[in-house]
Structure 1
Amino acid sequence: MDLAERSTEWETGHPIRLRRPVQGSGPAWAGRGRARMIPPNIRYGWEHSGNPLVAGAHGWADAVAATRPWLVESRSSLEGAPVLAYGGLARGHSHGLPFLEQRRGGRSTRQARRTSWAELTSGRAAPAADLLVIGIPRRMAPSPPPRHSLLLPFRVGQAVPVGPEHGDVLDRLSRQARKQHRHEMTVRCRSLEVATRESDFDYFYDRMHKPTMDRRHGDRAHSEEREHARRCLFHRGVLFFLCESGQRVAGMLCRLEGRTLVLRLAGVAGGDKGYYRTSAYLTVYVLLLQWAAAQGLRRVDLAGCEPFLSKGIFQFKRRMHPQVGLPDDHYRDKRLLLWARRDTPAVRDFLVANPMLLIGVDQSLEACYFHDADRPPRVDLPWRSPGVRAHRLVDCDGFLEGLPGPA
């Protein structure tokens, strides 16, 4: 039977030759109608290409679009929670601020207005904010950062090199994780299915990816549109299912770019959170890494996330010991300036609870843990990863000295 007409199962050590069919920015609330008029593959390349010319052009376009940047002030329904403000590059409204709001807790209420770069970089733009976060092009980032502020990458990427010289994928895991993986592979009769039919894509998108995104992120979910994902990912990549006794329980849609497998969309059956407790996701990642190595690929790109050690997906992917670094795409030349504007118990709680990755003048990454006499550093959120050169402990007393107290 032709490969395009069937699905296949894969087990470690049995490579599969795939034949794939060949087929020919502003704030989150702006520009969507115009974007749909652009052919999907061009849109995908514009958004994700690591080509320096494309990434540079994208960065220039983002900067032009932010000539009069938006400032969003966010307040929580929790009494005493810090007031957050984000301004600058539009991507932060959808890719940075939601994470910070989630970490703060409560129901968020936003107010938006136009501001200027002069107001933002002087700190005058958000007088009511306890913490001001500015998304800024790398060339505009202050060096050194102003007092009471830190410079972060806008996002970080995580990628795992694979191949004979990098050893067995399982050796990357802790002894306990290896034991759990092998136990559940046997007890749950797990296997990896490589799917190639159009109906397989529909099954994944409708019954795994969309329910998972809806349950985890609600109306703030961000993903690839259905037909965009079909054309730019499924037709140019690989769709995997994790099966238990032949039943699909999780899936991952990836794109092939040369000898790199790029993870793009994921989901579990019906969005059921119970599958996370059974290490289904860990198994998917392990089997994908093994599959990539068996196919002769050189790298598995685990995709990017916000530069905070408190980000759950960052810590989850750390289990595979990926290389952490700046993304290859336009995010490479974007930065976040995190600026404390008041010294309050809530600000201290927030800084201590969210260790972060800083970026130096030489573009190296360093972990930063806040602490004070009453708040120990969150070293339970580990930083050690290839690509993160060191860590530092920052005393809140010294960092926040001179700032006003609660309003």
Structure 2
Amino acid sequence: MYRAPVEEIAHTLKSVAGLRKALDAGRFGDLGEDLVDAILAEAGRFASDEVAPLNEIGDRQGAVLADGAVTTPPGWKELYQNWIAGGWNGLTGPEEFGGQGLPMLLSVAALEMWNSASLAFAIGPILTMGAIEALDKHASDELKAKYLEKLVTGEWMGTMNLTEPQAGSDLNALKARAVPVGDGTYRIYGQKIFITYGEHDFTDNIVHLVLARLPDAPAGTRGISLFLVPKFFVGDDGSLGERNDVFCSGLEHKLGIHASPTCTMIYGDGKFGSEPGAIGWLIGEENRGLACMFTMMNNARLAVGMQGVAVAETAYQKALAYARDRTQGRAPGHKGEGMSPIIEHPDVARMLMTMKALTQGARAICYSCAEALDMARVSEGDEAKAWSERASLITPIAKAFATDIGFEVASLGVQVHGGMGFIEETGAARLLRDARIAPIY
């Protein structure tokens, strides 16, 4: 069973990524080391004691679609409610909308622990956090007032709708349409695939951020706009109204992260409402949607890098425990009767040391990326520019390296288990299956 390595995470934050130096210099206001330690300890407890125990049932039962509604595995909805009750969703959220405004360094440390406990659970909140950042930086004051507080608290969740059947990572081929209504809203038509948590039972409302083209839009990525499309309309008093014309038509059957619903979303099919067309509101400027969405995507790139670190940590812990317990043969220099624990065999020790070194290296890179993002935010002038350029350099490295080693370490974990690693009951195979999506994201 996963146990959050709180002391190791704290050391990397403070001594490798430079959090202690920033705290001593007062760069993060009145945030002190005692509060940091308390946050990390509670995040570790929650991940270890409440999230991790539900990972196996999530993998085994998965999310289920029936009559357009998605049901998550037993205990998952309650887990999410406990998670938001702890204030975790708003850790780095804007304070004016109920967030805590804490550094990204603390967020990535907590994300590591959530993802180590369950990649399938943590990916939903990751996208909500990205939606919060995109809306905070690009949405109108009216949209912020109506949606941000509920997203920051986690009462509602957000999604990112880019991919279409004919347009994977090449958004030049995007065909979803947005037609102006004349009252400041737009009717959205189209199909989106691979939408993580596009439909679920965690929250009463889901806020979709959708890329689509206006009728007179330029060709290619220069003609893409970003729209906010809620599952349910929201009144001026914050109450939920009628259902919008958007629904989930199917769930993907995947190699891993089974409990995370990966949805096909249909916009403007006429399933809800008298007139076809999902009603959406423009975020930012017309034909500038990709720039807005990249705010969300950059946030997600570091978060996905943390998924690689997280699965590597869990795979290492599981392999280490197995290697200490499993006996086979007699290692060189073994004294006493009976067989040796396989950890005493040099090649098993080599694999475990490789797993540990790769995990620690990836963690240091990702935390250093978060440090650069934080320092760019709290600095000014040339210093802010330097930190921003450092973040731009490290972000793709953190994402690519960490997700690659996540899969490599999980594969080594299967090897340490030997034949039992190929058997689902040990959980080593589950980690390998889950890890494979992160380099693809």
How high is the TM-score relative to the length of structure 2?
Answer: 0.26
Could you say which structure has the greater relative contact order, defined with CA pairs below 8 angstroms and 6 or more residues apart? 1
More strand by share: 1
